[in-house]
C-alpha cells in the first residue's frame, strides 16, 4: 500500500487527508461506504455530464474525447458507448503493466459513458456562441469537480488514469511526460479519424490539472485506519 499526502485542508493543526492505493477488497473494507459510494457515483455521473456539455458546446473536446468522437464516425455507436468501449480496451492494456483495477475503475468504465449519452439525449446544441462557450467552460469546471469527487472517494483510478500511472511506473518517466505523450497520441489518432479539436481542447488541457488539485483536498474521504492497517 502506498499513500499520497495532500496539502493541509484547513490549517496547520488539522490532520492532512491522504489518498491510499488499495486493492478492490481493501477498498470495500476501508469503511465510510455510506459517504464514499454516493460520492463515487455522483462524481462519475457528473463526469459524463461534463463530457456532454463540451460536446454540445461544440468548441473542442477533451483529448480522449477527440478520439471517441472520431471513433463514432466509423463505428455505428453513440459517443457514450465509445467511451465505454475504449475504457475496456484501455483496461486490456493494464494487463502487461500489472495494474490492479479497483471498484471505481470498473464503475468509471461503465457509468461515465451512460451518463454522457443520457445528457446528450436531453440537451441540444445551442446556436448562440455565448451559450456554447458557457457550456464548454461549464463542462471543464464540472469535470474538475467530478474528477476530484471520484478520486476522493478512494475506490481506485479510472482506466485512462491507470494507464498513465502504469506506464510511468514501468518506464520510469514522469507522470507529466507520460500524460502529455498519451494525450497527444490520442488527439492525433482522433484527428485522423475525424474527431473534434478546438479551443475547448486547449482549455481542458490547461485547466483540468489545476482545477482537480484545487478541489481534491476537501473531497478526499478519510478511510478507517484500522481497516487499512489490517488489509
Q: What is the pLDDT of residue 16?
A: 58
Q: How confident is the model at residue 173 (pLDDT cuts 50, 70, 90)?
A: confident
**What's the rounded Cα separation, in Å, for the pair 62 and 54?**
8
pLDDT for 7 equals 39
Prediction pTM value: 0.85
Give the pLDDT of residue 13. 41
77: pLDDT strictly greater than 60: yes
Q: What is the pLDDT of residues 32-46, one digit of tens each?
A: 888 999 999 999 999
pLDDT tens-digit map of 109-163: 899 999 999 999 999 999 999 999 999 999 999 999 999 999 888 888 888 888 8
pLDDT beyond 70 at 3: no
- Per-residue model confidence (pLDDT) at position 226: 61
> What's the rounded mean pLDDT across residues 207-215?
87
Positive or negative: CA dihedral 109, 111, 114, 117: negative
Nearest by Cα to 54 from 119, 108, 98: 119
pLDDT at 4 over 80: no
Q: Mean per-residue pLDDT for 59-63?
A: 91
Q: What is the pLDDT of residue 231?
A: 45
Distance CA 104, CA 23 (A): 11
In the predicted model, is pLDDT for residue 181 greater than 90?
A: no
Pairing of strands 3-5, 18-20: antiparallel
* Alpha carbon 207 to its chain's center: 14
The whole-number pLDDT of residue 5 equals 36
The percent of residues in the chain predicted with pLDDT above 90, rounded, is 47
3-state secondary structure of 32: coil
Amino acid at each position: 500500500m502506498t499513500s499520497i499526502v495532500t496539502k493541509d485542508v484547513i490549517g496547520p493543526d488539522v490532520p492532512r487527508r491522504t489518498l491510499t492505493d488499495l486493492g478492490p477488497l481493501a477498498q470495500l473494507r476501508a469503511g465510510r461506504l455510506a459517504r464514499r459510494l454516493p460520492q463515487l457515483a455522483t462524481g462519475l455521473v457528473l463526469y459524463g455530464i461534463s463530457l456532454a456539455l463540451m460536446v454540445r458546446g461544440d468548441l473542442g473536446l477533451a483529448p480522449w474525447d477527440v478520439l471517441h468522437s472520431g471513433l463514432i464516425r466509423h463505428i455505428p455507436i453513440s459517443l457514450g458507448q465509445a467511451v465505454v468501449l475504449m475504457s475496456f480496451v484501455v483496461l486490456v492494456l493494464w494487463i502487461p503493466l500489472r495494474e490492479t483495477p479497483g471498484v471505481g475503475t470498473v464503475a468509471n468504465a461503465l457509468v461515465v459513458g451512460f451518463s454522457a449519452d443520457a445528457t446528450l439525449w436531453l440537451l441540444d446544441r445551442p446556436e448562440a456562441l455565448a451559450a456554447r462557450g458557457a457550456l464548454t467552460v461549464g463542462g471543464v469546471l464540472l469535470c474538475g469537480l467530478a474528477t476530484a469527487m471520484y478520486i476522493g472517494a478512494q475506490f481506485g483510478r479510472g482506466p485512462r488514469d491507470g494507464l498513465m500511472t502504469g506506464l510511468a511506473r514501468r518506464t520510469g518517466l514522469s507522470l507529466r511526460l507520460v500524460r502529455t505523450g498519451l494525450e497527444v497520441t490520442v488527439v492525433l489518432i482522433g484527428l485522423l479519424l475525424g474527431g473534434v479539436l478546438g479551443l475547448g481542447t486547449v482549455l481542458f488541457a490547461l485547466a483540468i490539472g489545476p482545477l482537480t488539485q484545487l478541489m481534491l483536498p476537501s473531497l478526499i474521504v478519510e478511510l478507517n485506519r484500522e481497516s487499512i492497517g489490517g488489509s
